[in-house]
């Protein structure tokens, strides 16, 4: 719709105002979306009220309404994660293998068992080692 139409009847304006008020938008938003100046809409509302038309009240603007088509622009500074200096990070010792949970040394025999070791196999291995003790 455009403001260019020089004349609308009171009934046409009343229908437009009802559409505006039912839209959920503010008057300004609705006017912008429909190409009607806010001033022209307000003049029509005044004329209709003088003629005893029951104009629906404008929905108050709720700042907590997240469904509003308007949006705020907020500047966000993105700061990279702070990395500790190289001196704080311990260097990995290459000769230590931490992939296992249990180490057994029996004489010159060295056994390393991981978390996923079969319990039956571990039990048989330990029983066999006890027999040599």
| 70 domain-assigned | no
| 74 domain-assigned | no
Entry pTM? 0.42
* Pair 54, 4 in one domain: yes
Question: Which one-letter DSSP state was computed for residue 103?
Answer: E
Domain span at residue 113 reads 102-132
| Exposed e or buried b per residue across 57-69, where buried means at least 16 C-beta atoms within 10 angstroms of its C-beta | eeeeeeeeeeeee
Backbone angles phi, psi at 104, to 5 degrees: -120, 125
Q: Specify the DSSP element, H or E, that contains 121.
A: helix 119-132
What is the tally of structural domains in the chain? 2
* Pair 55, 107 in one domain: no
pLDDT over 80 at 98, yes or no: no
| 72 domain-assigned | no
The answer to whether 26 and 59 are in contact (CB under 8 A) is yes
| 42 domain-assigned | yes
Burial class (CB in 10 A: 0-12, 13-18, 19+), 56: exposed
Of 45, 60, 75, at which residue does a domain stop?
A: 60
Q: What percent of the chain has pLDDT over 70?
A: 67
Query: What digits encode the pLDDT tens for the residues 11-32?
Result: 999 999 999 988 888 888 899 9
| 12 domain-assigned | yes
| 37 domain-assigned | yes
| 106 domain-assigned | yes
| 96 domain-assigned | no
């Amino acid at each position: 719709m455009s403001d260019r139409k020089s004349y609308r009847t009171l009934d046409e304006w009343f229908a437009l105002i009802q559409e505006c008020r039912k839209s959920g938008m503010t008057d300004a938003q609705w006017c912008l979306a429909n190409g009607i100046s806010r001033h022209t809409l307000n003049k029509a509302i005044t004329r209709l009220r003088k003629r005893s038309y029951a104009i629906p009240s404008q929905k108050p603007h709720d700042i907590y309404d997240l469904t509003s088509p308007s949006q705020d622009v907020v500047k966000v500074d993105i700061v990279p994660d702070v990395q500790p200096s190289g001196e704080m990070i311990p260097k990995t010792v290459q000769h230590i293998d931490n992939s296992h949970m249990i180490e057994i040394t029996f004489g010159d025999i060295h056994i390393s068992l991981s978390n996923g070791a079969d319990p039956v196999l571990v039990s048989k291995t330990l029983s066999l080692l006890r027999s040599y003790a």
